[in-house]
Amino acid sequence: MNLGTYITRSSTFWPQREALICGERRLTYGELERVTNRLASALIGRGLAPGQAVATYAGNCAQAVETEMTLSKSGLVRVPISPRLSVDEVAHILDDADVRVLFVDGERIAAARAALERASVDCLLVDYGNQEALGYGELLAEGSEEVVAVEVDQHDAAVLNFTSGSTGKLKAAVQTHGNRLANMRKRMMSSDSTPSAPECYLAAGPITHAPGMPLLALLASGATVVVLPRWDAELFLATVEAERISATFLVPTMLGMLLAHPKTATADLTSLRSLHVGGAPVSPQRLREAVAAFGPIVMQGYGQVETTSGITVLTREDVLAGTTTDPDLLLSCGRPVFDTEIRVVDEAGTALPAGSIGEVIARGPDCVTAYWHEPELSAETFKDGWVHTGDLGHLREDGYLFIVDRKKDMIISGGYNVYCSEVEAVLYAHPALAEACVVGVPDEKWGEAVKAVVVRRPGAEVDEDEIVGFCAERLARVKKPRSVEFVDALPVNRNGKIDRRAVRARHWTGAERRVL
C-alpha cells in the first residue's frame, strides 16, 4: 500500500483544480503532484530508505503540507514537531526518533541548529525559506517528476506523533499506514462533499495537530486546502470571505476569539457549511453562542493522538437539537463515528451500564497500539486492542458519550468527586465571563477545594460573591467554587488549549501532596 497514490490519482482527475493555498503560494493538483514527486525522489536519491524518520519543525506553510504528502509517497516516517517546543525538547525528539532529515522554516532555523548541536543524530537540515543550510528549492531541483510510490506494509509506522498530553512527558504515538488509511476512510465516508462540489477547507490552527489531520483525505477527494499562516481572528474572517471556505476546524479558544471579534457580525460567512469545534472541551454556552453567530453549521468532536482521528461526533443536527429540544446534548461529544467502538469501563475493565461514570476506551482500525520506545506506558494505555483514553465519562441510553473530566483532573473534596468540566460549564453560562478554568487547590479540612480562575469579558463588572452565588444556584454545594480568582488571561499550552496543569501547579508549590 502507499497513501501517496491518492495524490497522484487526484492529479489525474483534477490537474488544474487548486489543491493547496497558503499566503502567496497556490498549487494546482498537477503542481502538487510534480513537487511531491521531486521531493520524494530527491530524498531517496540522498540515500533515505523506507522506515527512516523525517521531521518538520515549522509554522503553518504550504511546504510543510507538501512534505507530508511526499513522505507518504516515499515510505518515510513523518515526525511533525510542534513549533512551540523548546530546543531541548526538539533535541530529544531528534534523538528518540533517529531523525535523518529536518525541514525547518526561517523563524526556527536558529533553534533547529541549536537542537542539532545537542542531539546525537546525523541529520540533514533543509530550510524552507531557502536562506540558510540546504535550501528547499535546491533539494527539489535534485529530484525527478517521475511518479514515486514506495510499497509499505499497513503495520509499518507512518507518523510518530509526539505529545506531552496531561503528563508533561513527551511520548510518541505510533500511527501506522493502516491507521492513517482508516482515518482517511472515516473522513471521506462521513463527508458531505462530492467531486462536483468540492470542499474548501481552512486549516486555521497548527497543522501539526488536529487541524492538519484531515488533509490527506481532503486532497484525496479533490478538495482545496487553505492553510492559515498564523492564527488571527481578523485574518480568519478575511480568508473565509476571499476563498469561500466551506469547512474549518477550531479549538474552543479560537472560537471564543471569533465570537468576541467585532467584525464577525458583519463578515460574509455564507460559504461556511461546517464549523467543527474540538481539541478541548467546549461549554454548552459557547456552542449556543456559535450557533447564534454562524447558524446551524456547528459540530463538535472528540478524539486523541492515540486514536488518530475523531472517535465521536456531535453532528450539526445534534448541536441544533441541543439549542432547542434536547439541551443535554450540548454536554455530549456525540456518538461513535463510522467503524469506531467505544465503551465506558470500571477499574477492572468491565463495561458499565448507561449513566455510570468510568474510563472511556475505544477501538477501531485507526487506533494506535503502541508508544515509541515506551513499553510500560504502552502496556498501560493499549490493552486487548482498546485505547484507554484516561478520560472519565458516561454513555446515554441512545449512545451519546458525555466526557466529565480527565482522570487526573478530577477533584476529590471531602471524599466527593468533582469534575472540573461540569463546574466550568456553569461558569461559561455567566454573561460576564469570557474564559474559565477550574482546579483543585490544597485545603486542610477537605483535602482539595474547588477554585475557579476566570477572565471577565471586556467592560464587565462582577465579583467573587456573585460568581459563587451563581454557581451555588446551579450546582451541588460540594461542587461550587470556594474561591474565585480574576486574571487578565489564562495560560495556554502549545496546542492553544487552556493549560490546566499550569493554573493548578502554582497553588501546589510547597504542598506535601501534588494532585497533577
| CATH number reported for the structural domain that contains residue 352 in this entry | 2.30.38.10
The amino acid occupying position 462 is V
Angle formed by the axes of helices 420-428 and 284-294, to 10°?
Answer: 40
Half-sphere exposure of 132 (CA within 13 A, CB side): 12
Asked whether the beta carbons of 200 and 247 are under 8 A apart, the reply is: yes
What number is the average pLDDT over the span 127-141?
93
Q: Are residues 450 and 350 in the same domain?
A: no
For strands 433-443 and 447-456, give the pairing: antiparallel
Domain count, the chain: 3
Residue 12: in which H helix or E strand, if any? helix 5-13
Q: How confident is the model at residue 509 (pLDDT cuts 50, 70, 90)?
A: low
Q: Is the pLDDT score of 328 beyond 90?
A: yes
- Give the per-residue pLDDT at 477: 82
**Which of 372, 387, 405 corresponds to the end of one domain?**
405
- State the Cα–Cα distance between residues 51 and 74, nearest whole angstrom: 9
- State the Cα–Cα distance between residues 263 and 362, nearest whole angstrom: 40
Q: Are residues 400 and 444 in the same domain?
A: no
Q: Are residues 144 and 123 in the same domain?
A: yes
Q: What residue has cell string 473530566?
A: 405
Q: Is 416 inside a domain boundary?
A: yes
Q: Where are the beta strands (DSSP E) in 251-376?
A: 274-277, 298-303, 310-314, 335-336, 341-345, 358-363
What number is the average pLDDT over the span 365-390?
95
Q: What residue has cell string 461558569?
A: 427
**Residue 447 φ/ψ region, left for φ over 0, alpha for ψ in the -120 to 50 degree band, beta for the rest:** left
Tell me the three cell numbers of residue 207: 497543522
Q: Is 171 inside a domain boundary?
A: no
- Higher pLDDT, residue 219 or 511: 219
What number is the average pLDDT over the span 266-279?
94
- Give the per-residue pLDDT at 513: 32
- Give the per-residue pLDDT at 496: 75
Q: Is 253 inside a domain boundary?
A: no
- Give the per-residue pLDDT at 168: 53
SS3 assignment, position 457: coil
The CATH number assigned to the domain holding 33 equals 3.40.50.12780
Q: Is 78 inside a domain boundary?
A: yes
Instruction: For residue 5, give its domain range.
Output: 1-152
Q: Is 231 inside a domain boundary?
A: no
Q: Is the pLDDT score of 33 beyond 70?
A: yes
What number is the average pLDDT over the span 327-345?
95
Concatenating the DSSP letter of every residue in 223-275 gives PEEEE-SS--HHHHHHHHHHHT--EEEE-HHHHHHHHH-GGGGTS--TT--EE
- Give the per-residue pLDDT at 514: 34
Alpha-helix runs per DSSP H in 334-419: 375-381
Q: Are residues 433 and 482 in the same domain?
A: yes
- State the Cα–Cα distance between residues 52 and 82, nearest whole angstrom: 20
Q: Are residues 121 and 24 in the same domain?
A: yes
- Give the per-residue pLDDT at 515: 31
Give this prediction's pTM.
0.83
Q: Are residues 422 and 391 in the same domain?
A: no
**Which of 377, 405, 433 corresponds to the end of one domain?**
405
Asked whether the beta carbons of 246 and 273 are under 8 A apart, the reply is: yes
- Higher pLDDT, residue 454 or 507: 454
- Give the per-residue pLDDT at 506: 82
- Give the per-residue pLDDT at 512: 36
Q: Is the pLDDT score of 108 beyond 50?
A: yes
- Give the per-residue pLDDT at 164: 67
Q: How confident is the model at residue 143 (pLDDT cuts 50, 70, 90)?
A: very high
CA dihedral of 4, 10, 13, 19, whole degrees rounded to 10: -150
- State the Cα–Cα distance between residues 163 and 380, nearest whole angstrom: 16
- By CB neighbour count within 10 A (0-12 exposed, 13-18 middle, 19+ buried), where does 463 fall? exposed
- Give the per-residue pLDDT at 295: 96
Q: Are residues 383 and 500 in the same domain?
A: no
Torsion over CA: 88, 92, 98, 104 (sign):
negative
Q: Is 474 inside a domain boundary?
A: yes
What percent of the chain has a predicted confidence (pLDDT) above 70? 96
Q: Is the pLDDT score of 118 beyond 70?
A: yes
User: Comparing C-alpha atoms, which of 460, 463, 470 is closest to residue 486?
Assistant: 463
The amino acid occupying position 415 is G
Asked whether the beta carbons of 57 and 47 are under 8 A apart, the reply is: no
Asked whether the beta carbons of 278 and 251 are under 8 A apart, the reply is: yes
Q: 343-369 as b/e, with b when 16 or more CB fall inside 10 Å?
A: bbbeeeeeeeeeeebbbbbbbbbbbbb
What are the residues whose beta carbons fall under 8 Å from the beta carbon of 127, sequence distance 6 or more?
A: 104, 105, 106, 109, 133, 134, 135, 136
What percent of the chain has a predicted confidence (pLDDT) above 90? 77
Q: Is the pLDDT score of 163 beyond 90?
A: no
Q: Is 364 inside a domain boundary?
A: yes
Q: Are residues 368 and 484 in the same domain?
A: no
Q: Is 220 inside a domain boundary?
A: no
- Give the per-residue pLDDT at 192: 55
Number of H helices, E strands in the chain: 16, 26
Q: Are residues 4 and 112 in the same domain?
A: yes
**Which of 119, 152, 185 corresponds to the end of one domain?**
152
Q: Is the pLDDT score of 194 beyond 80?
A: no
What number is the average pLDDT over the span 183-193?
78
464-501 pLDDT, tens per residue? 999 999 999 888 788 899 999 999 999 988 767 888 88
The CATH number assigned to the domain holding 443 equals 3.30.300.30
396-425 pLDDT, tens per residue? 999 999 998 777 777 878 767 787 888 998
- Higher pLDDT, residue 327 or 251: 327
Q: Are residues 372 and 493 in the same domain?
A: no
Q: Are residues 424 and 484 in the same domain?
A: yes
Beta bridge partners of 249: 203, 276
